[in-house]
Structure 1
């Protein structure tokens, strides 16, 4: 049984994009059909050009499709990624989430599994707060939050964040380490497997209901 997973993220210099690719890979290995999408950049060219890594990454991902509200309607499950900005999601991702109001009113986002991941410059740079902040949106949707928890050795190896994968970029700018990428792959697999189990349960319930009529 296949499910559709949308991995939607914002990344300025590439760390969150690398995590998003790993989450997408993990979901695909669990049997999901995956859309990897980046949200639109809101910063000016002048601001981007002040940081060569920012410009380099933006040019490198130009071929990655931009996220649209239709991707939310399409998917059975979601994974959202963002760098932490003062303990909160980046404005670019928040602006995209704010476009979901129409689907929210229709109840189209309810009961869908969702998970989140992030990256920060410092180990205590607000990663957990960022993921919890995203959870506030998911509560309003009525979505089913699927954290990695302490359910696999990969979570411990990556630093033990039960809320979601959180990479530390540090001054080197090398991006997520191998342990963080492994944790992200596991998080993607867990999300897809949860979605598959929910789909199977819903289908079984429908069959039981038809049998009783």
Structure 2
């Protein structure tokens, strides 16, 4: 069984925290989580980014997409859309699209935003669009997860989410953690069934 690729961009750490909770869920389901990130982008680049991030997950490589059994994408919310670094990476996956690298693989999404109404659901839905073009099988969080009905912060049927606050310092709530783990576990379980 191959790994579940958890690919994300995190600027202030909230999305990375969600990624680690999702990874726990993947591993609770008996699969290995492969955490990867993408480098930041800027309108004008004066100095190239290091080939290895200073901390956190390594940068994603094309082979990570080919080798994974499932893909879970994460990004902070940017005006109801994914952040530019993740979009930039996805825009460069034409060869993988043409060869069907992600066709039939389960895929899910997660996000973090400053406020309850900061575009969580729009961001999650916008992240699903390239996954659908790649032929992935979209996985959400069903209402059989009790935390989905109890949460007063993040968490949606479209994917895991976190409300970080305007200073981006709010810790993940218990419900946000539960839902992130549930998403990872569900994707891993579906990947196992599909590969069987």
- TM superposition score normalised by structure 1: 0.81
Structure 2, gaps ≥5 residues long? 44-52
The correspondence for 2:161, drawn from 166, 188, 192, is 166
| Structure index of larger Rg | 1
Partner of 1:90: 83
Residue pair 1:154, 1:186 contacting (<8 A) in 2 also: no
Runs of 4+, deviation exceeding 4 Å: none
| Alpha-carbon offset, residue 95 of structure 1 | 0.8
Whole-Å separation in 1 of the counterparts to 2:6 and 2:75: 11
Deviation per CA, 1:6-57: give whole Å up to 9, x if none. Answer: 000001100000000110111011011211011112248xxxxxxxxxxxxx
Change (3 A) 1:177 1:136: same
The alignment status of 1:195 with 2:191, answered yes or no, reads yes
Partner of 2:7: 8
RMSD: 2.0
Whole-Å separation in 2 of the counterparts to 1:5 and 1:80: 11
Whole-Å separation in 1 of the counterparts to 2:182 and 2:76: 19
The correspondence for 2:174, drawn from 173, 178, 182, is 178
- TM superposition score normalised by structure 2: 0.88
Change (3 A) 1:112 1:170: same
Whole-Å separation in 2 of the counterparts to 1:16 and 1:63: 12
Whole-Å separation in 1 of the counterparts to 2:54 and 2:15: 12
Between 177-186 and 115-124, report the one with greater CA deviation. 177-186
Partner of 1:52: none
Whole-Å separation in 1 of the counterparts to 2:106 and 2:56: 27
In proportion to residue count, which structure has more helix? 1
| Alpha-carbon offset, residue 184 of structure 1 | 0.3
Structure 1, gaps ≥5 residues long? 45-59, 201-213
| Alpha-carbon offset, residue 103 of structure 1 | 1.1
